[in-house]
Amino acid sequence: MKIRSMAGWTLAVGLVAGGCLFFLGIDRAVAWWRVRQLLAADPQSRAIVMDDLARHPAASCRQLAEILVEENDPERAAILGDALSQVGREAGAAADDAMAQVIEQLVQGHRACPPAGREQAALWAASMLERTPDDSRPTPEFMAGANRLMEMGRVNPEPGPRAATIRLAASLAKVGLTNENLPRFRELARSGIADADPKVQLAAIPLAAMGPLSMLEELAHCLGSHSAEVRRGALLVLGPNPEVLNEDALLPLLHDPDQQNAALARSALVARGLNDDQIRLGRLIADPNPVHRLEVIDHLDGPAQVDVGMWLKRLSHDTSPAVRSAAARAMALAGGTDFNERLSQMAEGDPSPTVSRLARHFMQGSIR
């Protein structure tokens, strides 16, 4: 009985396999089987299955795309997307005609595709463009499909697909930016910068940093992100651009809670020619605690390279009345005509009546 059952099972498997071969063709049938093996395999075995898929790259990519546009499980979608990228490389990337067929599949299935599948589809298209050699060009069909994916992805409510769409936009801009489509890419970058999700903001930084878009000033918005990674990405772009991010805007970043970001801010200041004394004073004057900002005055008697007048005048505009009062006193003690105008301004119109009164008092020489 068991032998008969096993024989029946073997026959059934054979019939199914034979049917697949008949209806799908050998390459497609093998790809169909291998993709299902891939999804069922443990992480250690996936590389072996991936090698098998790469033996029939065009058929495998079509089969992977067919399943991807129906996949809503993020983990399975990531496996399919990674396989599509790896096998697609074997097929010749975006310059290969077979990949134009694959991206058309993704475009056709996008509307009904779950979020996990849409995210991986956009990431795959971006990776294909990013891997295109300098001496090669994506086919017009691939470019058209990638642009359609980007346009459809602009209205994604989920952050994962939104971030993937912006990464795709950055990849497209590198190979196909024109005066006509410049506003479209700028609009995508602007929406990404303003997005509430750090993943989307992070994806928008390389796009906004592209010279033709002229968006570095808007990119400064990311320096206020609650994500340390987003602040770091913006700082890496803006740090070498003093015309966009001046030293005063860099100083508060010396207090960034992320130590790597604080170190990057310091490196940017050093690259701009500030010495250790200037950076130390700058860190104090940008300290959120007014007690620490007051310490600047105590450090002004030391280094000869420090511009005492500049630092005292900066302190005289501090948000804390106590700091402004101390600055007024220090300017009066320093004497000289350089401080007379600023002391007069404080005496006549400081927001704090107490500071105005003290400034008048100091100007009369009553502190000696």
Count of the separate structural domains present in the chain? 1
| Residue 62 belongs to a domain | no
What's the pTM value of the predicted model, to 2 decimals? Answer: 0.80
CB crowding 131-151: b at 16 or more within 10 Å, else e: ebeeeeebbeebbebbbbbbe
Residue 16 has pLDDT above 50, yes or no: no
In a domain, 246, yes or no: no
In a domain, 331, yes or no: yes
Dihedral class, residue 333 (left if φ above 0, else alpha if ψ from -120 to 50, else beta): alpha
Range of the domain at 323: 309-368
350 in a domain, yes or no?
Answer: yes
Least confidently predicted of 21-35, 174-188, 214-228, 302-316: 21-35
Per-residue pLDDT reduced to its tens digit, 124-154? 999 988 888 777 788 899 999 999 999 998 8
Assigned domain for 259 exists:
no
Which is more confidently placed, 366 or 246?
A: 246
Confidence check: pLDDT of 36 > 90? no
* Residue 354 is assigned to a structural domain of this protein: yes
- The answer to the question of residue 344 being in a domain is yes
Which pLDDT score, from 0 to 100, does residue 4 have? 46
pLDDT tens per residue, range 88-131: 765 445 557 778 889 999 999 988 899 999 999 999 999 988 88
Is the pLDDT reported for residue 3 higher than 60? no
Residue 328 lies in a domain: yes
State the pLDDT at residue 367: 52
Separation of alpha carbons 39 and 75, rounded Å:
10
Question: What whole-number distance in Å separates Cα of residue 333 and Cα of residue 329?
Answer: 6
Please say if the pLDDT value at position 237 is more than 50. Answer: yes
